[in-house]
Every structure is written in structure tokens, then in C-alpha cells.
Structure 1
């Protein structure tokens, strides 16, 4: 359980940071972080961090797949964590 907790903390920090970094790149009109990478981080357990970053940085909030997908993945990971 310690490894799972450590993994989830680390990947959620990464998910949060990636949303902030992508927002910064978007504002500077630089090469962006691919959405597939954001989804990979979310599916790996970082959905809560990415969701928090999405709201804190106001990034990708109008993308329906992120607005509904990240909370859904968060619920799935919460179930895995609580019952796993």
C-alpha cells in the first residue's frame, strides 16, 4: 500500500505540474505538451492532480473530454485505492 500511495502522490504532482507547464507554453505560443501525454499521466493515476491543475491554471476547462474524463478517471482511481 505504501508503494501505491507514493506512486499516486508523485504522479499527481506531475499531473498538476504538466497542466501548469502546458498553460505556460500555450501563452508563449511555444510547442505544446501533447494531449496524449496528459491522458497517459491521468490514466497512470495522476488524474486528480491534472484535474486540480486544469482548474487552478484554467487550462483545458472548455475541453469536454477533459472536463468529464479527468473526474471520471479520478473516481476510478479512488475506487482502486480504497478497495485495492
Structure 2
């Protein structure tokens, strides 16, 4: 059980970041997915797969939050970041906002944003750079 002072410090550390950077990046990401399908750079299955990955990512964050409250086995932070890097970062963002999980650790948030940006850059390069080989 945490002391009240610890809870207050954790709540004070959670600065409410504006949502527009995340939503803007999500729009770019979704646009790249749709453009990738339209241009034939991605198969149509990428769209439902991206949705499923984000739902799974949210669930993994929820499970980790639940484990944290019960003192049970936790999901390693590297695993959470891997989900984000693979494209589950929008689901992770919603988990940060809704569950208030991993939203106070600035170091975690910094790595989270790096994974989100790297994912969008890689997706953009794949979709928009024609010299990259297409899968067969």
C-alpha cells in the first residue's frame, strides 16, 4: 500500500499533455495505412491487423495495470515498447489516457514517443518510397 504523499506526488507528476500531437500523428499513420493499401504497397489485411494489434496493445497495458495494483507479474517495459514500435502505439496512447497507466514516468513516455515516431517514419518510407521492394 502506498502512502498518501506518494500518490499525490505521482498525480502531480502527471502533467496533462495536449492530445493534438497524438491525434495528428494518428491521422498521419492512418492515412499512410490507407494510402499503402490504395497504392498496393500494403495488402488490405494490414487495416484489420492494425486495429487488432492496437486492441491487443490496449489489453496488454490493461493487464499490466491490473497486475501492478495486485502486486502480480508485470509485463516488461521493453515488451510494451515493442508493441508500440510494431504499430500498437495508438492503442498504447489510449491506455495511457484511459487507464492512467505509465503516464507519470517521463522516461517511459520519452521512449514511447520515439517508438511511435519510428513506426510512422518506417511506415511512411515503406508506402511512399517506390525503390523499396514490394513483398511477393
TM range (shorter): 0.7 to 0.9
8 A contact 1:12–1:46 mirrored in 2 = yes
Equivalences, count:
83
- The 3-state SS of whatever aligns with 1:59 is coil
Residue aligned with 1:11, SS: helix
TM-score scaled by length of structure 2: 0.53
Q: Distance between the aligned counterparts of 1:73 and 1:40, measured in 2?
A: 8
Task: Look at both structures and tell me which one has the larger radius of gyration over its CA atoms.
Answer: 2
Give the root-mean-square deviation of aligned CA atoms. Answer: 1.9
Looking at structure 1, the residues matched to 80 and 97 of structure 2 have their Cα atoms a distance apart, in angstroms, of 15
Match of 2:14 in 1: none
Q: Using a 3 Å threshold, how does the CA distance of structure 1 residues 76 and 5 change in structure 2: closer, same or farther?
A: farther
- Show structure 1 runs of 5+ residues with no match: none
1:62 aligns with 2:62: no
Matched, 1:29 2:71: yes
**Is contact 2:58-2:92 (8 Å) kept?**
yes
Residue by residue over 1:8-44, the C-alpha shift from the partner in whole angstroms, topping out at 9 and shown as x without a partner, is 1011001111111100000000010111111111111
| Structure 1 residue runs of 4 or more that deviate by more than 2 Å after TM superposition | 65-81
**Which structure has the highest helix share of the two?**
1
Task: Say if 1:48 and 1:71, in contact at 8 Å, map to a contact too.
Answer: no
